Structure 1
Amino acid sequence: MNKEFKAKIDRAVNNANLTGALGKFSEAYKVNRAKAYEGIDFEELRDRVAGIKSEAAADLDALAAEFQRNAEALGAKVFRTSDPHQVKEYILKVAQEAGVKTVVKSKSMATEEIHLNPYLVKNGISVAETDLGEWIIQLAGQTPSHMVMPAIHLTKEEVAELFSKEVEERLAADIPRLVKVARNELRPKFLAADMGISGGNIAVAETGSIVLVTNEGNARLVTTLPRIHVAVIGVEKLIKEFAGVAPILEALPRSATAQLLTSYVSIISGPTENEDGSPKELHIVLMDNRRSEMAKDPKFKQALQCIRCGSCLNVCPIFRLVGGHVFGDIYTGGIGTILTAWFDELKKSEDIQGLCIQCGNCTQVCPGKIDIPELILEIRRRLVLEQGQPFMQKAIFSVVNNRRMFHGMLRAASLAGKPFTSGKFIRHLPMFLAELTDGRSLPAIADKPFRDQFRDIKQPVCAEKAVFYAGCLMDFAYPEMGVALVKLLNKAGIEVLFPEEQTCCGAPALYNGAYEVAAQNAADNITALLAANARYVVSACPTCTVALAHDFSKTLESVGKTEWLPKAKELAAKTVDLSTLVKRLVDEGRLSFKEGEQLGAVTYHDSCHLKRTLKVFEEPRELLEKAGYQVTEMFECDMCCGMGGSYSIKLPEISAPILQRKLANIKETGARVVAMDCPGCVMQIRGGMDQDGAQVRVQHSVELLVDRIKE
């Protein structure tokens, strides 16, 4: 990540107006979206939307041809091209032949994508944006920061300043007054314009119709008042049948702005007459720009299921800190990163893809069911294939892939860290390492790792056995968690095995695009963990559990090591997270909790991978309550803590404010204990609480449960 980009991040996170505006919207959006979807089966609805869009993406060329036939039969002129420059040339030619001097535009990301406005202005044509947000950023000389709400990053005071300069009058930051000024300024432009340019939310092949969804009515004026209407539409907006419009319209406003329906839905089927009775010109430009190529890519074709609602931005913890001018190019956020890599070039996504923390928030709300984090990992992989791994990263992963060397270095780190260790924390590091302890303390490497302590644990010999996959943190930083796990499972009559050949789960390599390294980690662990032939492979780290149960197969297949797939699937079938297993054992009566003692309030932090990938969130709460704790929910309990593995090391300027927000939410509950099921989250939150000085204990759930189990 280059210095200039890091400087942009720094400016954004220190811009109180920006973070304040985005933070307030994000908080309100979650509540309002839930209300908007009341009574609707969101999963069923997005299955339909994804199906409609996926079917269309599978046959874009045929749908484009069908759309062209039907639209032209209605009197429209349809121009199809794969070249963005040809789109601009076509529109300019239409304008010049008709003597167009002024253009009004409604919101269109497709025209932003090809930089249409400056091209027309350069050729002597005046262009006015008429969407309020687009007009604001046009006055500011900026690009949209959000696909639906382009000026969301600006405060009303900043807008008042822009409007004051435009109308040469000092205006107060009064929203009704500012809206009135905008209306007065824009209305004459509609009436004077020779051409209107719009985008299109949906293009229906069956009827040759285009569908426009707006809140301000400006699109209706753009498409009806000027004598020429040009609609620029990406071919991914095509759907096969008119019946597909309804599900998309049901999902789009609810997901975009948490409205039941937008104010204006316009369906245009062929040109209408002008006021003087002359026929209006309707030109529809179907723009490809690598979309068909994307549709043929087995990984990225799902990105064409996007309906451009922007809900992925609205719930993203990174977007609400840095905004779209940092996290994105023309298209913003996670989906914007993917579109940038395709519609522009892979190289352009190099910096912005690193902003994704892989929390998975976006996957829960996307009405097109796009796995955005997975596609960003694929971008990282392709960047590594194209450019190779950075030298330092390559050196680190070469160590990680050498188990003996890796574990030896961790043991050495225990000794090397002694001068900087106070209690169980490293609170300050020297020189260039100082930033690592800015805002959180780090855990000291244990004097005796779990793998050494395990040999001294006396266990009963049981018929039922479970292999424990510890992961690096629990093995070398938090061995007490591993000891608690062994003790807990022993009480259920399960003997725990610990193969010492187990090594890093490969998540660090996978999340950095180094799939070959991750695949080797997978193969090593499959060999080690299946050798014991136990009933379960249990992990108390959600990231590691996801690796074992989901990622190993995908990673091995992606690098061509298909011979490992049967064993990877066998391992996946045996893998279980600790809370799910303990809940099962309690339900079966094999474990029970001590009764009669109320232990006070505990709040619970949902780890990203546990809740969103493994779908586990009720189980740990039920167990804590059965154990005698009163679970008090915190605000945004399932929002990322900012750890993200190596993310907190690479981007501490983003990780730190996310952590501070999490600490504030925990303290607000009044609970003296916060529980979680992820050692990585423990590292982040416990380290933050240590530097904060708050008297809140941060514990892995296993530590809270083990002593409450009846003997």
Structure 2
Amino acid sequence: MKKEFRESIGRAVGNATLTGALGKFSEAYKVNRAKAYEGIDFEALRDTIAERKSHAAANLELLAETFAKNATALGAKVFRTNDPEQVKEYILKVAKAHDVKSVVKSKSMATEEIHLNAFLEKAGIAVGETDLGEWIIQLAGQKPSHMVMPAIHMTKEEVADLFSKEVDERIENDIPRLVKVARKELRAKFLAADMGISGANIAVAETGSLVLVTNEGNARLVTTLPKVHVALVGIEKLVEKFEDIVPILTALPRSATAQLLTSYVSIISGPTPATDGALKDLHIVLMDNRRSEMANDPKFKQALQCIRCGSCLNVCPIFRLVGGHVFGSIYTGGIGTILTAWFEELHNSEDIQGLCIQCGNCKEICPGKLDIPEMIMEIRRRLVMEKGQPLAQKAIFGIVNNRSLFHGMLWAASIAGKPFNSGGFIRHLPLFLSDLTDGRSLPAIAAKPFRDRFPTIQQPADCRETAVFFAGCLIDFAYPEMGEALVRIMNKAGIRVVFPQAQTCCGAPARYSGAYEVAGQNAVDNIQALLADTAEYVVSACPTCTVALAHEFGDTLESLGHREWLPQATALAEKTVDFSTLVKRLVDAGRLPLKEGQQLGALTYHDSCHLKRTLRATEPPRELLKKAGYEVKEMFECDMCCGMGGSYSLKLPEISAPILQRKLHNIKETGAPVVAMDCPGCVMQIRGGFDQDRADVKVKHTAELLAEQLES
């Protein structure tokens, strides 16, 4: 990560005004969005959007031809190109043909994408943004920080200063007054403009129509008052039929700003009369700029299902800390990372892709059903293929995947770390390592890892089933007591536990770093180790590991062309189950008795990202804890990332730390003395945070809490 980029992260995180504004919006958005979608089957709605947009992406050539034919028949002039330079030259040619001196624009990310404003201004044409947010950032000389709310990062005080300079009069930061100033200034621009430039939210092939969605009405003035209207439309906005606009219009305002509906929906089918009664000159530019290439790429074609609502930004824990001027280029956030890699160049996304923590919030909320985290991992893979792994990363993976070497080095580290070890925590590290314990203590390495403890565990001889236990790195080497708790619970249910010593890292660190060759070898090694014993289950008490075994091994191996391992990967996936889901089945089947009738007091529960969003196991741990006698008090944002993100907290502690602090605050607000979770990584993050916070809150894995409540 470049030094300059890292410095921009520090400035953003340290900007209390920015983080405060984005944080408040994010918190309010989640609540308001839920209200906006009341009575609507969101999953069914986004299934429909994804199906229709996917169909359009698979037929872009046909739909573009159909749209051009039908729009032309209505009187529009349609120009289509893959080259952004040709787009700009065409628009300038139209402007010169009509002796255009000034242009007004409604909001258009496509024009931002090709830097149209600067191009026209260089040619001597005045360009005025008329969307309030876009006008604000134009006055500030900035780029949009959000696809829907471009000036969300600015305060009313900053806006008042900008407006005061623009009108040469001191304007108070009273919002109605600011709006009045904007209305007055922009109306003059509308009336004087020779050309209006817009984008489009949807382009309908069947009717040759453009659909524009706004809240301010400025797009209607842009498209009706000037004698020339130019619409710049990315071909991903195409849909086949007029009826296809209904699901998009249903989702767009709700997902973008948590509104039930937008203020203005304009549908333009052919030229409309200008103010002098003559037909307006309507030009529609269909821009490709590698969109067709995306449509033909099996990993990225789904990106064309995006309806540009920006909801992925609204729920992103990273975006609400650093904003779009850091997390993005022209397009911002997770989807912006993907579009940057395509519309600009792959290497332009190198720094910003590293900001994604892979929490999956965006995937869960996207109305187009885009798997943004998966596409970002593919960007990482391609960057590694193009540039190779960093030497330090390569060395680390080489050590981690050599279990005997890794074991030996950890043992040596535990000895070397004794001067820094206090009560099971490493609270301070020297010199350049000090950032790693900034705001969070690290767990001391176990004197005896689980793999060495396991052979000494006495198990009943009469178990009727077998479970292979995949421990993962943290349980094996830092928290062996969690593994012992899992064995006790399985044994109590009549299940013998097997621990293959040949198991290794699940491959998630390598995969999430783009090192798929390393992750592929991890997959093969673990497939061989975990399928060596005949067993009914493969169980893991780490959701990240469970996701790797059950969902990612096959995809990784297929990406590498190792199809010969796919049957075994499938067999492993079919047996793999997360700890809480398996235990809930055993309790429901009457095979695992818990102490009944106890009142153990209150605790709160933190949902780890992979457990909730990939494994969909939100209720099993809560139900088990309640059955064991705990009162579960829900915390605010219980399912928001804790900032761990595997190695993310080590790579970007300046981002991880404030995310953790928000989580610690939400836990303490419940008043519960215990917080439970199913992820050892989250335990490491949150337990370490509370150690430095000196708060009297116990952090426990669900397995530990349940093991204490088994019937004797």
* TM, length-normalised to structure 1: 1.00
Kindly state the Cα deviation for residue 270 of structure 1 after the two structures are TM-superposed: 0.1
Q: C-alpha offsets along residues 439-458 of structure 1, whole Å, 9 cap, x if unaligned? A: 00000000010111111110
Q: C-alpha offsets along residues 176-210 of structure 1, whole Å, 9 cap, x if unaligned? A: 11000000100010011000000000000000000
Identity among equivalent pairs (%): 78
Q: Where does 1:402-413 land on structure 2 (aligned, <5 Å)?
A: 402-413=402-413
Q: Where does 1:225-624 land on structure 2 (aligned, <5 Å)?
A: 225-461=225-461, 462-624=463-625
Residue 629 of structure 1: aligned partner: 630
Residue 105 of structure 1: aligned partner: 105
Q: Take 1:421 and 1:365, find their aligned partners in 2: how far apart are those partners?
A: 42
Q: Where does 1:110-149 land on structure 2 (aligned, <5 Å)?
A: 110-149=110-149
Q: Take 1:158 and 1:23, find their aligned partners in 2: how far apart are those partners?
A: 18
Q: Take 2:707 and 2:424, find their aligned partners in 1: how far apart are those partners?
A: 22
Kindly state the Cα deviation for residue 22 of structure 1 after the two structures are TM-superposed: 0.3
Q: C-alpha offsets along residues 262-290 of structure 1, whole Å, 9 cap, x if unaligned? A: 00000000001112222210000000000
Kindly state the Cα deviation for residue 620 of structure 1 after the two structures are TM-superposed: 0.4
Kindly state the Cα deviation for residue 296 of structure 1 after the two structures are TM-superposed: 0.2
Kindly state the Cα deviation for residue 168 of structure 1 after the two structures are TM-superposed: 1.1
Q: Take 1:52 and 1:27, find their aligned partners in 2: how far apart are those partners?
A: 31
Q: Take 1:503 and 1:407, find their aligned partners in 2: how far apart are those partners?
A: 11
Q: Take 1:199 and 1:347, find their aligned partners in 2: how far apart are those partners?
A: 28
Kindly state the Cα deviation for residue 218 of structure 1 after the two structures are TM-superposed: 0.1
Kindly state the Cα deviation for residue 404 of structure 1 after the two structures are TM-superposed: 2.0
Q: Take 1:327 and 1:276, find their aligned partners in 2: how far apart are those partners?
A: 46
Secondary structure of 1:557's match?
A: helix
Report the residue type matching 1:150 in the other structure: P
Q: Take 1:457 and 1:626, find their aligned partners in 2: how far apart are those partners?
A: 27
Residue 39 of structure 2: aligned partner: 39
Secondary structure of 2:150's match?
A: coil
Residue 709 of structure 1: aligned partner: 710
Q: C-alpha offsets along residues 103-135 of structure 1, whole Å, 9 cap, x if unaligned? A: 000000000000000000000000000000000
Kindly state the Cα deviation for residue 402 of structure 1 after the two structures are TM-superposed: 2.1
Secondary structure of 1:355's match?
A: coil
Q: Give the length in aligned residue pairs.
A: 711
Secondary structure of 1:455's match?
A: helix
Secondary structure of 1:89's match?
A: helix
For the pair 1:174 / 2:146, whether they are aligned, the reply is no
Over aligned residue pairs, what C-alpha RMSD do you find? 0.6
Report the residue type matching 1:351 in the other structure: D
Q: C-alpha offsets along residues 153-178 of structure 1, whole Å, 9 cap, x if unaligned? A: 00111111111111111111110110
Q: Take 2:277 and 2:481, find their aligned partners in 1: how far apart are those partners?
A: 83
Q: Where does 1:188-207 land on structure 2 (aligned, <5 Å)?
A: 188-207=188-207
In structure 2, runs of 5+ residues without a counterpart are: none
Q: Take 1:70 and 1:410, find their aligned partners in 2: how far apart are those partners?
A: 68
Q: Take 1:475 and 1:172, find their aligned partners in 2: how far apart are those partners?
A: 61
Secondary structure of 2:354's match?
A: helix
Q: Where does 1:5-84 land on structure 2 (aligned, <5 Å)?
A: 5-84=5-84
Report the residue type matching 2:465 in the other structure: E
Q: C-alpha offsets along residues 303-335 of structure 1, whole Å, 9 cap, x if unaligned? A: 000000000000000000000000000000000
Q: Take 1:168 and 1:256, find their aligned partners in 2: how far apart are those partners?
A: 34
* Deviation larger for 143-152 or 415-424: 415-424
Q: Take 2:324 and 2:387, find their aligned partners in 1: how far apart are those partners?
A: 26
Report the residue type matching 2:634 in the other structure: E
Q: C-alpha offsets along residues 27-85 of structure 1, whole Å, 9 cap, x if unaligned? A: 01000000000000000000000011000000111110110000000000000000000
Kindly state the Cα deviation for residue 595 of structure 1 after the two structures are TM-superposed: 2.0
Secondary structure of 2:446's match?
A: coil
Q: Take 1:58 and 1:246, find their aligned partners in 2: how far apart are those partners?
A: 20
Q: Take 1:695 and 1:293, find their aligned partners in 2: how far apart are those partners?
A: 55
* TM, length-normalised to structure 2: 0.99
For the pair 1:222 / 2:222, whether they are aligned, the reply is yes
In structure 1, runs of 5+ residues without a counterpart are: none
